Amino acid sequence: MPSRPIRVLIIDDSALVRKVLTESLATDPEIEVVGTAIDPYVARDKIRQLNPDVLTLDLEMPRMDGLSFLKLVMKHRPMPVIIISSLKADGSARALEALQAGAVDVVAKPGSAYSAAADGAALAAKIKAAFQARVRSPSGTTARAREGAASTLTTAPTLCPPNLETAGEGRQASGPGRHCSSKQIILMGASTGGTEALTMVLTNLSGTLPGICIVQHIPAYFSGAFAERLNHLCPFEVREASHGDKVQPGLALVAPGGRHLVLRRAGATYEVELNDGPQVHHQRPSVDVLFDSAARAGAGPHALALLLTGMGADGAAGMLKLKEAGATTVAQNEESCVVFGMPREAIRLGAAQTILPLEQMATFIQRYAIDVAIADAGV
């Protein structure tokens, strides 16, 4: 954290939301709300005047929508942006598009002054994570909030970020994992920056893989849209997990936002249990809950566990348990992380056997799947 408070600009057309967010963040001495803006045009001028470290950005505003403004920000002055979005289906889809365009994180828009105040601590934690984030513009420029780059923001046209909607075109699944044992499982955990990191890894995999379980720290309602987006892009089925789902080769299950995903042994395979248990590391779903349950279910010798970008320590202790139980464990390296928190803690604990840049993880997973298939065949 910096020697001074993190400077935040709140951009939202709702006076109530601006007021309540300002008041809830005022209780944290490490954060200072330096201003608010009713729309992107006002925000543009205040960014120049106030030089904030982090923006919170509504997506639905007058004169210019938040997504268009975000693209301008990421082109002309890359900086950490947290999206404040509605829970409606279209809001979830647009929030995911904003993450693709460079936003660091997304927070569900409060339905009332009470809920906004109650979620103030969670938003403060996301702001602190965003402040530490590596932010990349569509041109590849990397910036951090604390670097305090001079603002050159204008309302000039922007270039769209790379389109992932065609990433899966031309790839053919080689069958629903028919060569993979139901005992084998791939476990993935991520937080800040994780939606795009997971998208990069998963869209570069084939369809012949062990079953996959994913915990991404994401609000309720957004996880379904995230899973649907991955299902469209990947050459294998991806869906939001439901209670009682079987983990199967060629299927990836995403933990629902707001619910823990627990694995139970069910004969020759694993079964999903969802619960509303206490938050772990201030998170639900929690990566540690998934990893711990996999170790308890006896998946250790049959598991590949990967921990990607994110703030905090969620997943590190669970990864250590899996490693001690015989799992193959991988952490993302610092240079490719948006926030090098969770992987760093896993490395510090000695839980990660291998440290890889994000762009090498898909190849590692494919090689793991091949090695598993060879071992199962007794070759």
* Residue 349 burial (CB count, 10 A): 14
Q: Among this protein's residues, is 314 annotated catalytic?
A: yes
- Taking the CA atoms of the chain, what radius of gyration do you get in angstroms? 21
User: Phi, psi (5° rounding) for residue 252?
Assistant: -115, 130
Is 217 labeled as catalytic in the residue annotation?
yes
DSSP β-bridge partners for residue 261:
274
Please give the Cα distance from 237 to 239 (Å, whole number).
7
**Paired tokens of 314:** 């969620």
Within 10 angstroms of residue 191's Cβ, the number of other Cβ atoms is 29
Question: One of 179, 217, 281, 302 is an active-site residue; which one?
Answer: 217
- Extract the runs of DSSP E, i.e. beta strands, from the chain: 6-11, 31-37, 54-58, 81-85, 105-108, 135-136, 142-143, 185-190, 211-216, 237-240, 246-247, 251-254, 260-266, 269-275, 303-307, 328-332, 354-356
On whether the CB atoms of residues 258 and 283 are closer than 8 A, the answer is: no
Q: Alpha-carbon distance 180 to 305, whole Å?
A: 17
- Residues 191, 223, 286, 336: which is the catalytic one? 191
Tokens representing residue 258 in the block: 């707001």
Whole-angstrom distance, CA of residue 183 vs CA of residue 19: 52
Cβ 154 vs Cβ 76: under 8 Å = yes
Burial of 32 (0-12, 13-18, 19+ CB in 10 A): middle
Render the burial of 144-180: b for 16+ CB within 10 Å, e for the rest: bbeeeeebebeeeebeebeebeebbeeeebeeebebb
Q: Which residues contact 18 (CB under 8 A, 6 or more apart)?
A: 10, 12, 36, 38
Q: Which one of 206, 292, 314, 336 is the catalytic residue? A: 314
Residues annotated as part of the active site: 191, 217, 314
